[in-house]
Structure 1
């Protein structure tokens, strides 16, 4: 069985861990340069729509809510703490985003009881509430997690049954545009074919779907049928985070090797970002040692590097990724894997004006950057992958981001540690 662990209202939950006064209060997290609302607590959702520019929030509502700047240092570290906690109680964990991870549930007589226990431990040890969906495939686990989060009767954990009338009933009530990896554009095309629910998609003709759409959607159908067919890198439709990672052919502790790998991951991630017409707000970098080598000391760091303004520029993303690698790298460890995750993705044609005119992102310069990235992508598509690639990034002064409502970085700065009175 596969489980999906999803941190509930993650950014708001991170803020509440160190500021209990925010518990039960409407909280909004703002984009870089305090532009738009990019995350909301449950209490804020009826009051402020996602993506609303902060200046457009009515004065009477602003009095009732708390708006905070994006504290990526805190969120990245809390994410690592959650996943580290989970890794002690499960054989295999694969992060999917900063607040989601898939786990393999092998060897448990009662997976639901185990996940309820795991959920309680994560809350106790990190303060972050999570929901866990359990099923036989990644796609069904995402669906199960949706039920676990939305229906309080299951207390945050739901195991989707196989081959039962109840499963059929659930699939018939689940809209096709909410299926993991489908997306709105594909959903509209499916609806013209009479496919409106997860059940409809499950019954669709595999050959026809592959011809008219893609092999990825064909695999989604197989997953809905209970057949494991999808790896995390297979999902090509727009999503809120993009991760690129690979295991090494052999262990290495050389900084040069890691810099090269991170540069490749960052470049590939930026290319995927442009393919789905999105921009990223931050970059997460991580390294992994081999947990099965008991003779080696272990070190599995990660760090989140905020970007000055949302971007899809390969140069900026590589530079941020290399900054992150420099911050977490330590000599004396042999690493088996590295990766880059692009966080808080937004549609490029819909991000708010306050971010559009951010420092060093003026419209004329932005158009030139867009043309350069488009030219690189076009040449690589015509002449072959990596025909043009960036070999490095320039050293520049630290980026200064407007974050006037920033909470303390409680877990990553000595001078901002929480005080106990």
Structure 2
């Protein structure tokens, strides 16, 4: 019989807020929240902000006066900082196992199956200490024989102080596990969302333990093979393998609400050029070309009293491409067809679809030449310069410099780790 697998899930605590606190000592002990695009809603909270009852997803304008009177500090999302800190955490974790899956910006699965000679709780404590010392961020570690149980263990590691940041479900006996799972709502299980949890509750399955004791065949008939697999994972049967290499995306989207309402078509052209540039860079990074381009523009649906208009159009490309300039030209052609003056536009976006590897390009029926090699070399050179010197160092002129459509981030912290001008300064007293 094959030996049980051993997975660990390492999760950064209050990741966005912790990144902000790391470089701002004045925030120590203060409630901090991070806001969504255009400083809209609360998307991250420090432990202090949670303690005073600030809810996730609440619009900031509704609570700003009360929150600020309680000393809450609200900051704009600093995506460059969070991405860089995430990469640093992953670099530290990669020293603890050769098999690692970056699940999200603040979570990574580690396969520890080959470490049976070690006390995994002690090993997990070493992980926590090294990340804290080398990166400065707090993490919790959950360990289990399946990825689903490891994620559940991480929940216990964060929410139950008795575990002191590390929970190894494999070290607990069956009665203890049953008691622990019986106290845990079923919606804490990975993949069980609100809608599924409601249906399960109607069937009398309200806790993790009740779901674990369910018949996986019956669950598959009532729900899906995915939830049936979850039941098997809760019982220790590993059904989900580690994805050491992230699979290529089948679609690449780039869209964002504007910082202020846009009326001018030139602002829309610049916004679309910006979105296409970012999407095309991601497309080239994964070695693909796009066979179709979608453009979307719309007004603010949350203001029904205002005149409403939205259009989404997809245009197949005669020859698949990853050329930024060609894709921008196509996006602008679509915009010229769908733009209507007189409306207050709230959002624009693009999507690249029908992706295929660059090496799989077929000849065109009408004998059109494949993507020009020199243009492709120019695109790759642009990508390399931007990776080295920062995004937007070299860009298409169509992306322009108009600021009317840019996302509003009035509370943005410095780029502490990605800009020389924003490096923290230490003063000797």
TM category (shorter chain) comes to 0.5 to 0.7
- Alignment deviations for residues 134-188 of structure 1 (CA, whole Å, 9 cap, x no partner): 1111111111111111122222111113662111111211111111101110111
Gaps (5+ residues) in structure 2? Answer: 1-5, 260-271, 289-298, 317-351, 357-370, 372-378, 380-395
* Counterpart selection for 1:192 from 180, 194, 202: 202
1:226 aligns with 2:226: no
**CA–CA distance in structure 1, aligned partners of residues 278 and 111 of structure 2:** 32
**CA–CA distance in structure 1, aligned partners of residues 167 and 412 of structure 2:** 35
* Counterpart selection for 2:311 from 360, 368, 375: 368
1:322 aligns with 2:322: no
Gaps (5+ residues) in structure 1? Answer: 234-242, 247-260, 271-279, 282-306, 330-336, 340-352, 377-386
Deviates most, 78-87 or 190-199: 190-199
**CA–CA distance in structure 2, aligned partners of residues 397 and 113 of structure 1:** 54
Aligned to 1:284: none
Aligned to 1:137: 146
**CA–CA distance in structure 2, aligned partners of residues 355 and 323 of structure 1:** 30
Structure whose alpha-carbon radius of gyration is higher: 2
- Do 2:19 and 2:85's aligned partners in 1 also have CA atoms closer than 8 Å? yes
After superposition, the Cα gap between the structure-2 partners of 1:408 and 1:215, relative to the gap in structure 1 and judged at 3 Å, is same
Write the mapping of 1:255-334 to structure 2, written as runs, cut at 5 A: 265=249, 267=251, 307=256, 319-323=277-281
**Length, aligned pairs only:** 319
Aligned to 2:46: 41
RMSD: 3.6
Aligned to 2:19: 14
Aligned to 2:31: 26
- Alignment deviations for residues 280-305 of structure 1 (CA, whole Å, 9 cap, x no partner): 98xxxxxxxxxxxxxxxxxxxxxxxx
Using the size of structure 1 for normalisation, the TM-score is 0.67
**CA–CA distance in structure 2, aligned partners of residues 182 and 217 of structure 1:** 8
Aligned to 2:399: 396
1:413 aligns with 2:413: no
After superposition, the Cα gap between the structure-2 partners of 1:390 and 1:160, relative to the gap in structure 1 and judged at 3 Å, is closer
1:396 Cα offset (Å): 3.2
* Counterpart selection for 1:66 from 36, 61, 73: 73
- Do 1:85 and 1:122's aligned partners in 2 also have CA atoms closer than 8 Å? yes
1:98 aligns with 2:105: yes
- Do 1:133 and 1:142's aligned partners in 2 also have CA atoms closer than 8 Å? yes
- Do 2:250 and 2:354's aligned partners in 1 also have CA atoms closer than 8 Å? no
- Do 1:17 and 1:127's aligned partners in 2 also have CA atoms closer than 8 Å? yes
**CA–CA distance in structure 2, aligned partners of residues 410 and 92 of structure 1:** 30
